[in-house]
Structures are given as structure tokens and as C-alpha cells.
């Protein structure tokens, strides 16, 4: 018991490094009795009881939460949010943290989010929307400001954004998305938008519908290979804070992007409670919003949550109760760097099932190993996905955290281990 509060059973939905980081943070709370995770992974199973229910099997998650007396559910990943997990839990009188389906659309539809930004004067790249490939093609023939960015409207596993340097490339992109339907229905409609330049920064925030509290900044490395070469991935590494995200830019973002976004959602009858993630481009003309996500970033969570000093259970409860304005959230001044260890061949073709060695060699408090694609087979931890582990190091500054991270990952090995050697340099 903390004060007069009852200890809680908490369920976390998801199975990646982000969920491991969330659970690691929750496990430090003296308000928690037991943590469950559906479906979880090998690393998570050391802190939580993993339950074999898919993150998108909402019906069974509701039954599990009821039968197990879960006091609070936290959703890590996007798919269940878009499917309405929050609405289903609330209907069943279960406490859950995340946006309802009609608010999660800020991540689910790029067209929705661009129209929202335009309507509420939130700075973003100029754009046009097309439902018809022929009209899109006609538009591109006239376009004289290449490169241009073409985005499938719906969720496409982070692969639905194509940056095209010439008309020919842009035509191919339209064909891929709208005619060949590489991303299925997600490509029924597209956004064609202005190419922006500048450092890209992620800022996540806690929202309760009325109040928005931004977290410390982070930068992601989306490309598979050093020097931002290779294909786009879910993220090969992150660091926090970003040196580009100054106090002045922060103030500007609060006034022109963060607060207006939350207010806009409320105005639209889509009040947003949960984590609002802002993908920002810091251009010469000021910060512009590239996209929203409706959940913690992965691997942003792995560098932001270790810097959070306030109890995450308190924050989540205050957010659900609409009282975030009463809470002060405190951050550590230290820096974090997270390097992702991926399976060889990721993000295209890779094999799974290789034993991971050296996981127990690191005993330092400032090294955290967050599991992503791992599972236990015959008492051994083996690879079970594209992104396998995220190794986070905490240091006095980025340089020190980076050194510690790369030193620590020398001890961890698996067949065809792949990672970038330049995380935290940019
Ligand atoms: P998104 O899913 O919208 O975040 O896009 C994925 C990535 O594509 C972003 O993280 C950026 O690196 C890049 N991107 C998206 N929109 C633009 C843009 N308008 N200009 C330049 N790069 C962009
Ligand atoms: N790291 C970016 C994302 O979670 O979408």
C-alpha cells in the first residue's frame, strides 16, 4: 500500500522493446503488485507474467483482464488502439490508458492528420490529397519542386512513405501504392507533400484530453545502415535529449504544435487521452509537424522512460482521471543512447531462432537491455524477430552514454547480429 492506495495488477499490451521499457519502469513503482504482458517476450518474462494472447485479440484481452482482476491496462502498440481496444475495455468497465478509436485516427490516417493540421493552422509540409492515380499523376507532371514525398493514407508498417527525386520515381510510387496496392487498402488514397529538410526530432507527450505534458526529446535513426543509408526500418537506435531541440524551439512547439493539437482533437469531438507522439522536422522556417503517433515510439521509449523520475503509474492514473494539470513530472538530466541489435538481413529477409549469448554479463545499473524479438526455447533465449534487442546506456552526456552502449554490446552476441555503429553521432 502507498498511502491509502491499493496495490495494482497491471496489464501491458504488446511485445517489443517499447513494452519492455514500459514494464521496466512500472516494475519500479511501489504501487504495483503484479504485472502481466500480452503477449510479451523473453526479457519481459523476467519482470512480468507473459500471457499468450495476441495484442489485437481484444475480446480475449477483455476477458483476461476481467478474470484476472486487472486494475489498469496500458497499451504499448498501435494496432489494438486503431481497432478500438480502449473503447472495448471502457465498455467493460475496465481502466485502460490510451486513446479511443476515434482519437487514435491521428496515427491511423495520414489524411485525417494532415487535414487536422491544416484546419487548425499547425505548421506542416504543404500537401495535396488524391483518391485517383490519374489526377495524382497529372499533378506530379506539373510539380517542379522535387524531391517530393508520397504517402499512403493508412498504416503500412512504416513503409508507406516514399521520397521521390524525379517524376519517374514519383510515378512509380503512385503505381506501387495506388495501382499495384502494395500496402493494400492503406493505399486507396495518398498524400503528396512538400519535402522538408532539417533535423528530425521526436517529442512524446502525456495527454488527458485537456492537458498535454511533453516528455524529453529524442532522435531516431530510421535507416538500416550507417550514415542513414539503406532501407527504412522501425528504428535502429535512438538517443535523448536532442541537441537541436533547444528551450526556445520547445516553447515554440508547445504553442504552435502541441497545445493546438490536443485542443483540435477535443474540438473535433475526438478528445485524446494517452501518449501523443510528435514527429517534428526542425526546418529553417521553424519546427514543422511531420506526423502523429498515438503511442510511445519504439525505440524512443527506450531512451525517454529511463530518464523519467516520476512514478509512471501515477502519471497514467492522473491522465485517465483528467488531472494531469495537478502533477509535476520530473526528468533526469542524464543522457541515454539505445542501440538496436537486429537480425542479419532486417528489414527485408532474416532468420530467427539463434541463441543469444552474453545477456547476463552486464550487471551495471546504467546499462539496460530491452528485449524486442526474443523468446525462450529450451531454457535459452533465442532471436525471434527483426529487431532483437535494444541496448540502452545512461551517461552524463550523449558521448559518454554512446561509449558505454557500444562497450556493453560487445558482450552480447548472436548469429548474424546487425547494428549501426553511428547511433548518437548526428
Ligand atoms: P512518417 O511516417 O510520416 O513519419 O514518415 C516517415 C519518414 O519519412 C519520416 O520520419 C521522415 O524521415 C520522412 N518524411 C516524411 N515526410 C517528410 C517530408 N515532408 N519531408 C521530408 N521527409 C519526410
Ligand atoms: N520510432 C518511430 C516509431 O515508433 O514509430
What CATH number does residue 18 fall under?
3.40.50.20
How far is the CA of 33 from the CAs of 46, 66, 69, 117, 349, in angstroms? Answer: 15, 16, 12, 42, 40
Q: Could you identify the atom of ligand 2 that is nearest to the CA of residue 238?
A: 1
Query: DSSP string of 59-117?
Result: HHHHHHHHHTT-SEEEE-SHHHHHHTHHHHHHHTT--EES--HHHHHHHH-HHHHHHHH
Q: Are residues 168 and 273 in the same domain?
A: no
Please report the pLDDT score of residue 40 as a whole number.
98
Q: What is the CATH number of the domain that holds 219?
A: 3.30.470.20
**Best CA proximity match to 239, nearest among 59, 394, 77:** 394
Query: Which residues have CB under 8 Å from 169's CB, separation 6+?
Result: 162
**What's the 298 CA to ligand 2 centre distance in angstroms?**
5
In a domain, 271, yes or no: yes
Is 207 a domain residue? yes
- pLDDT at position 50 is 98
- Angstrom CA distances, 130 to 14, 68, 84, 192, stand at 34, 47, 27, 8
182 lies in the same domain as 223: no
Last residue of a domain, one of 326, 355, 377: 326
End-of-domain residue from the set 85, 101, 117? 101
**Separation of 7 CA from ligand 2 center, angstroms?**
32
Residue 232 has pLDDT above 90, yes or no: no
Ligand 1 atom, smallest distance to 160 CA: 2
Number of the ligand closest to the Cα of 77:
2
Cβ atoms of 58 and 88 closer than 8 Å: yes
Residues 412 and 306 in one domain: no
107 domain residue, yes or no: no
pLDDT in tens, 360-377: 877 788 999 999 999 999
Domain check: are 289 and 342 in the same one? Answer: no
Overall pTM > 0.75 = yes
CA of 12 to the centre of ligand 2 (A): 18
Q: What percent of the chain has pLDDT over 70?
A: 99
Q: Enter the C-alpha cell of residue 9.
A: 495488477
pLDDT: which is higher, 2 or 199: 199
Q: What is the pLDDT of residues 66-100, one digit of tens each?
A: 999 999 999 999 999 999 999 999 999 999 999 99
The DSSP bridge partners found for residue 164 are 148
Name the residue at shortest CA distance from atom 8 of ligand 1: 161
> Are residues 169 and 212 both part of a single domain?
no
For ligand 2, whether the C-beta of 238 sits within 6 Å is no
Is residue 2's pLDDT more than 70? no
Same domain, 212 and 322: yes
> Which pLDDT value is given to residue 155?
82
Residue to probe by mutation, ligand 2, list 110, 236, 277, 292, most atoms within 8 Å of CB: 277
Q: State the CATH number of the domain containing residue 168.
A: 3.30.1490.20
Q: What is the CATH number of the domain that holds 368?
A: 3.90.600.10
3 pLDDT higher than 70: no
Pair (207, 293) in one structural domain: yes
**177, part of any domain:** yes
Return the residue whose CA atom lies nearest to atom 13 of ligand 1. 161
The domain in which residue 89 lies consists of 8-101
Residue 21 belongs to some domain of the structure: yes
The domain boundary, picked from 68, 101, 134, lies at 101
- 110 within some domain: no
Distance between CA atoms of 273 and 266, rounded to whole angstroms? 10
Share of the chain above pLDDT 90, in %: 93
Q: How many domains is the chain built from?
A: 4
Across residues 173-186, what is the average pLDDT? 93
| Average pLDDT of the chain to the nearest whole number | 96
Mean pLDDT along residues 304-330: 98
**353 found inside a domain:** yes
Give 4 Cα–ligand 2 centroid separation in angstroms. 38
- pLDDT tens for 121-176 read 999 999 999 999 999 999 999 998 999 999 999 887 767 889 999 999 999 999 99
146 CB near ligand 1 (under 6 Å): no
- 199 alpha carbon – ligand 1 mean position (Å): 11
**Domain annotation covers residue 147:** yes
The alpha carbon of 78 and the centre of ligand 2 are apart by a number of angstroms equal to 10
Q: Is the same domain home to 291 and 342?
A: no
What's the longest Cα–Cα distance across the chain?
Answer: 67
Confidence of residue 417 (pLDDT cuts 50, 70, 90): very high
Tell me if 125 CB under 6 Å of ligand 1: yes
- The verdict on 17 and 130 lying in the same domain is no
Q: Whose CA is nearest to atom 3 of ligand 2?
A: 297
Do both 175 and 292 map to the same domain?
no
Among 125, 126, 128, 149, say which to mutate for ligand 1: greatest number of ligand atoms within 8 Å of CB.
Answer: 149
> CB of 107 closer than 6 A to ligand 2?
no
Residues 230 and 190 in one domain: no
Do 303 and 388 lie in a common domain? no
**pLDDT digits 0-9 by tens, 4-58:** 678 999 999 999 999 999 999 999 999 999 999 999 999 999 999 999 999 999 9
Residue nearest to atom 5 of ligand 1 (CA): 161
Amino acid at each position: 500500500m502507498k498511502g491509502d492506495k491499493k496495490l495494482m495488477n497491471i496489464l501491458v499490451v504488446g511485445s517489443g522493446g517499447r513494452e519492455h521499457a514500459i514494464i521496466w519502469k512500472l516494475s519500479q513503482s511501489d504501487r504495483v503488485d503484479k504485472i502481466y504482458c500480452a503477449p510479451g517476450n523473453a526479457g519481459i518474462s523476467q519482470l512480468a507474467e507473459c500471457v499468450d494472447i495476441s495484442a489485437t485479440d481484444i475480446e480475449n484481452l477483455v476477458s483476461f483482464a476481467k478474470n484476472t482482476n486487472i486494475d489498469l491496462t496500458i497499451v504499448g502498440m498501435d494496432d489494438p488502439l486503431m481497432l478500438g481496444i480502449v473503447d472495448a475495455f471502457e465498455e467493460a468497465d475496465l481502466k485502460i490508458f490510451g486513446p479511443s478509436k476515434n482519437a487514435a485516427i491521428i496515427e491511423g490516417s495520414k489524411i485525417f492528420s494532415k487535414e487536422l493540421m491544416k484546419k487548425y493552422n499547425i505548421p506542416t509540409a504543404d500537401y495535396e490529397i488524391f483518391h485517383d492515380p490519374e489526377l495524382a499523376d497529372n499533378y506530379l507532371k506539373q510539380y517542379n519542386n522535387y524531391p517530393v514525398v508520397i504517402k499512403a493514407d493508412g498504416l503500412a508498417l512504416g513503409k508507406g512513405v516514399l521520397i521521390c527525386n524525379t517524376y519517374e520515381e514519383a510515378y512509380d510510387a503512385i503505381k506501387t501504392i495506388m495501382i499495384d496496392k502494395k500496402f493494400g487498402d492503406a493505399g486507396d488514397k495518398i498524400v503528396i507533400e512538400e519535402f522538408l529538410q532539417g533535423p528530425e526530432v521526436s517529442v512524446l507527450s502525456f495527454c488527458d484530453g485537456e492537458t498535454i505534458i511533453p516528455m524529453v526529446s529524442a532522435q531516431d535513426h530510421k535507416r538500416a545502415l550507417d550514415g542513414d543509408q539503406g532501407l527504412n526500418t522501425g528504428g535502429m537506435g535512438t538517443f535523448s535529449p536532442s541537441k537541436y531541440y533547444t528551450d526556445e524551439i520547445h516553447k515554440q512547439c508547445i504553442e504552435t504544435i502541441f497545445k493546438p493539437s490536443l485542443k483540435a482533437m477535443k474540438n473535433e469531438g475526438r478528445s485524446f487521452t494517452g501518449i501523443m507522439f510528435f514527429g517534428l522536422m526542425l526546418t529553417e522556417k521553424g519546427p514543422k509537424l511531420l506526423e502523429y503517433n498515438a503511442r510511445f515510439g519504439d525505440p524512443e521509449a527506450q531512451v525517454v522512460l529511463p530518464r523519467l523520475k516520476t512514478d509512471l503509474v501515477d502519471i497514467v492514473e492522473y491522465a485517465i482521471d483528467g488531472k494531469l494539470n495537478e502533477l509535476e513530472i520530473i526528468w533526469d538530466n542524464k543522457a541515454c543512447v539505445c542501440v538496436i541489435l537486429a537480425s542479419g538481413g532486417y528489414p527485408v529477409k532474416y532468420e530467427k531462432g539463434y541463441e543469444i549469448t552474453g545477456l547476463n554479463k552486464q550487471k551495471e545499473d546504467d546499462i539496460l537491455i530491452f528485449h524486442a524479438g526474443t523468446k525462450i526455447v529450451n531454457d535459452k533465449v533465442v532471436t525471434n524477430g527483426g529487431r532483437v534487442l535494444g541496448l540502452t546506456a545512461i551517461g552524463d552526456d550523449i558521448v559518454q552514454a554512446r561509449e558505454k552502449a557500444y562497450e556493453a554490446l560487445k558482450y552480447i552476441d548472436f548469429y548474424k547480429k546487425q547494428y549501426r555503429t553511428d547511433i548518437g553521432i548526428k
